[in-house]
Chains A and B, each alone.
Chain A
Amino acid sequence: MITVDNVTVGYGTAGFIKAVDQVSLTINDNEILGIAGESGSGKSTLMRAVYGDFSTGLRIQSGTVTGRFEDARTGKVIEAQSSQFAPLWWDQLSYIPQGSMSVLNPLMKIEAQVVDGLPAREKQGSSRALRQRIADFLAGFGLEETVLDAYPHQLSGGMRQRVLVAIAAFVNPRLILADEPTTALDVVVQKKILLMMVEIQRRQRNSLVLVSHDLGVHYQITDRLVIMYQGRIVEQGPTAEVFANPQHDYTKNLIASLPRLHGKRAVEVVGASA
């Protein structure tokens, strides 16, 4: 689906500050891929390069990010470099931003914000039928139809984040990128949203990339896990395998730092040995 080939990404027009350093990665069809790493490890930058969001001075210095979108509904196959992805946004790709107060337009009702940007194929039929489909979709997230007529400030943080997941998923794209979608939420809401994302992925059989610094999240839902450290991928493999048998020192430290039910958590400065 997406092939990241030896790519170096960074910021700056005059100088160049490397954020992702010679990374190669494949995102397969019908899988949930997790990307873990500490703040500043380059995971968000890598996501932006994959999504094709080259604003604010982000650019690829070397290497390529190639996408191949096979749409079973139309039988069309689109192949493009990520710098050419913009026309595919909210059609073949969608994205779930890191939840915060200000991701939704404060002056637009939720229904309008779901509809705004939808590809033509999802908008077919009357606006009443569309509203009904959106309402049914939101019901799957435990959100009532009244949410559609609400403004963002009338919803709680957890509701807003569910709305953001629903907006991205309702597009029914081939690839969904989620950048820390559950970071600001309590564990109960977090778990609900994660399970919902898994269920939608299984139903739509597309690819979901989940960026999070929370290893617990990755353990629960990802099929494959990529560990990033200082702009490089230090380890990748099936999630269960990475957890059972970590190869890199940094990964070992990360896993050791998770709280345990029995015994003591390993206390060591993360990254000191890497």
Chain B
Amino acid sequence: MNLLRYIAGRLVVYILVVIFALTVLFFVPRLGPTDPVEAMLAKVASQGAYMDAAQVDALRQSLADTFGLDGSLWDQYGAFIKRIVLTADFGPSLSMYPTPVMELIRNALPWTFGLLLTSTLIAWVLGNFVGLLSGWKPNSTSSRVMEGIAICLYPIPYYILALLLSILFSYIWKIFPLTTTIRGAPWSWELITSVVWNSFLPAMSIVIVVFGWWVISVKAQTTALKEEEFVRYARLKGLGDARILSRYVLPNAILPQITFLALQIGLMFNGSLITEILFDYPGLGLLIYTAVLQGDFNLLMGTISLSVIAVATATMIIDLIYPLLDPRIRHR
């Protein structure tokens, strides 16, 4: 019963966050001075096409209709929320008219997800493993070396590291491609290797930075846990190091790391956007960048809404997993 209440509460928060974000996204561009319909009309006029006033009005009306800019602000808002929630429709892209925004996003999303998910998982598992061991034996040489490396790595911004990697491994040593070009038929071996090959540097730029952060935070957890009475008790029971680490220290150290993961996902998402632009990686980040440069309102709305929803969803999933791991939340 308590568990159900926990899940219900979490879902309500999720829905509120998404609606709030969509609301902000709706109002902010409309408070600005630019009017996409007038911009479009100006574009048409500048191309030299002659139209009389009635034609202009008709075009203005049909454009407003297409872009969902018809009626009062509240009417538009209601229609906007309804359209997104019910049909997930963001209208056509303005810069790549008439391709629907959703289609562009559908093509880009797997790239971003794949990149982010793999690099996050690799960094999390590796970072927690190394941090746990170095927290357990803080005075060993390997532990000190690992901590030194982690401390040097984690303050580096994503984009600096991404630039560094691409200069080193694509320009000086021409090992990996400078920009992303994917070849191969769908689901062929060639395609898979091509994807892995092209994703390696972008993924590394995320893994390396995030890895350092996980090492440092789990090391702090482990050092604190070592002094916990239940760990001392387990040791005085005569249990071996491996057992104490796996049954007593690891589960207790990993719990806060899962919360941190939920908090970090948003940050990592931002980082991956920059990485995508730098490596010309065909994901959501590149799409947002294009949308901004081209003044493509619909595409911008679509990509940003989707990023918000994706981050909120990922955070919620982690929050829902949490009670499975922590009995104190499960049986409250």
Contact = CB atoms under 8 A, between A and B. Distances in A.
Given A105-B247, A106-B252, A107-B251, A151 B236 contact: no
A contacts with B: majority SS: loop
A151 B238 contact: no
A273 interface: no
Given A105-B230, A106-B328, A107-B326, A89 B252 contact: no
Given A102-B229, A105-B230, A107-B251, A89 B238 contact: yes
Which of A94, A102, A107, A116 gathers the greatest number of chain B CB atoms within 10 Å?
Answer: A107
B234 A117 contact: yes
Contacts, number: 60
A102 B326 contact: no
Interface residues of B toward A: which range? 20 to 34
B84 interface: no
Interface residues of A, number: 25
B237 A117 contact: yes
B327 A153 contact: yes
A84 B327 CA distance: 37
A116 B229 contact: no
A151 B237 contact: no
Contacts of B236: 51, 53, 89, 95, 97
Contact of B331 (A53, A88, A90, A154): A154
Contacts of A95: 236
A87 B228 CA distance: 22
Nearest to B227: A56
B233 A151 contact: no
B248 A86 contact: no
Interface of A: 51, 53, 55, 86-91, 94-95, 97, 100, 102-108, 116-117, 151, 153-154
10 contacts: A55-B232, A55-B235, A91-B238, A97-B233, A100-B229, A106-B230, A107-B255, A116-B239, A117-B238, A117-B239
Listed from nearest, the 9 A-B pairs whose CB atoms lie closest are A89-B238, A117-B237, A151-B327, A90-B238, A102-B229, A105-B230, A107-B251, A90-B237, A103-B229
Given A90-B238, A105-B247, 16 more contacts: A51-B236, A86-B238, A95-B236, A100-B229, A103-B230, A103-B233, A106-B327, A107-B255, A107-B325, A107-B326, A108-B248, A116-B234, A116-B247, A117-B234, A117-B239, A153-B331
